[in-house]
Amino acid sequence: MKKLSIKDIAQKAGVSTATVSFVLNGKAEEMRISDTLAKKITKLAKQLGYQPNQLARGLRTGKTHTLGLIVENISNHFFGNLAKVIEDEAKKYNYKVLYCSTENNTLKAKELIQMLQDRQVDGYIITPTEGLEADIEKLIAAGKPVVLVDRYFANLATNYVLVDNYKSVFDTITRLVGRGFTQIGVVTVDLSMINMEQRMSGYKDALKASKIPYRKELVRTIPFEASREKALELVADFLEGGPKKEAVFFLTNYLGILGLECLKKLKLKVPDQMAFVSFDDHDIFRLHTPSITALAQPVEDIGRTAMTILLEEIKSGLKNNAHHLLPGELVVRESAL
């Protein structure tokens, strides 16, 4: 297995490596290489099946044509789809993507950033974890193009693109109120990232706007670190006990699925006994009986927008500082009309 290099081609063509390089990089004209020679080289390269060594190229140019994508968990529905969109988009522009999962673990996230840096990726799409500001700031300070997705840091000047968490929840709650519900519960997670905070704000503000008092007994916060069983227990306890809830909004897809399990266990009738809405759509919600109303994130749009911003920044070399809050879409199904 002898991978052939530019040198081999040069030799076979009886020219210098520089000439070959120029031709193969489309700089033939600029470097006034004669047309005949250029054609000859192109043909030879194709014929021999020449493929440039990306490492060498990257070393020399500092560009690897590789992007780093850091998500919370690649096997998660939302992030898996996001990764898919980004991969497809990247392919269009001839970029490869290095994915990695943080598990929402800051230390791991830091390591991943380091690793991507070592590999000299040209740009980053990151779902940040708590406490990652400094690292991201460093990245930006170093001139690396970065786009945050799903969450961001309010005090950091970065590009970000995510669903409009506040408005999505605000509108959904308002809609529920419009349907006559007043005792509306929420189940959330104790991550202090801005996306969750905004969802909570959306909830509170919607109640306020509808002149419904906020009652903390109607809010259940599940520790992120809780085991599956513990979380299930907490959700079940919430649904069953305490003040009556006419409707419950689960603020993440994961929580919504836990909620479904509880329904089954508690034999709660949805929507008769309680309306049910989850953030983030999922096949499960569509297929469940009753089907579940969900607030779908515009995954494709998020991925595409993030890529557009990133590639633009890579190309131009200029900091952009684009902020995109994309509208969510409430997919109304049987569990809450």
User: Judged by CB under 8 A, does residue 264 bind a copy of itself?
Assistant: yes
Please provide the distance, in angstroms rounded to a whole number, between the alpha carbons at the two ends of the chain. 64
Q: Pick the piece of the chain touching a copy of itself (CB under 8 A) from 239-247, 271-279, 282-290, 309-317.
A: 282-290
Nearer to DNA, 55 or 157 (CB): 55
Q: Pick the piece of the chain touching a copy of itself (CB under 8 A) from 139-147, 168-176, 212-220, 306-314.
A: 139-147
Cβ at position 183, least distance to a copy of itself in Å: 26
Q: Site for a copy of itself (CB under 8 A): which residue of 260, 270, 296, 302?
A: 260
- Calpha distance 336→273 (Å, rounded): 11
User: Judged by CB under 8 A, does residue 59 bind a copy of itself?
Assistant: yes
Size of the site for a copy of itself (CB under 8 A): 45
Cβ at position 315, least distance to DNA in Å: 15
User: Judged by CB under 8 A, does residue 278 bind a copy of itself?
Assistant: no
| Residues 6+ positions from 101 with CB-CB distance below 8 Å | 70, 71, 72, 73, 74, 75, 79
Nearer to DNA, 34 or 321 (CB): 34
User: Judged by CB under 8 A, does residue 84 bind a copy of itself?
Assistant: yes
Binding site residues, DNA, CB under 7 A: 3-7, 14-19, 21-22, 24-25, 31-34, 36-37, 50-53, 56-57, 59-61
Let me know: does 110 contact 135? Beta carbons within 8 Å: yes
Q: Site for a copy of itself (CB under 8 A): which residue of 155, 227, 287, 318?
A: 287
User: Judged by CB under 8 A, does residue 5 bind a copy of itself?
Assistant: no
CA atoms within 13 A on the CB side of 178: 9
Binding partner at 157 among a copy of itself, DNA, none, C-beta below 5 to 8 Å by kind: none
Which residue type occupies 185?
A: G
Q: Give exposure, 297-325, as e/b (b: 16+ Cβ within 10 Å).
A: bbbeebbbbbbebbbebbeeeeeeebebe
Nearer to DNA, 51 or 182 (CB): 51
Cβ at position 166, least distance to a copy of itself in Å: 27
Cβ at position 95, least distance to DNA in Å: 16
Binding partner at 84 among a copy of itself, DNA, none, C-beta below 5 to 8 Å by kind: a copy of itself
Q: Site for a copy of itself (CB under 8 A): which residue of 38, 41, 44, 97?
A: 97
Provide the binding-site residues for a copy of itself, judged by CB under 8 A: 1, 51-56, 58-59, 64, 66, 73-77, 80-81, 83-84, 87, 96-101, 114-115, 117-120, 141-143, 257, 260-261, 264, 283-284, 287-289
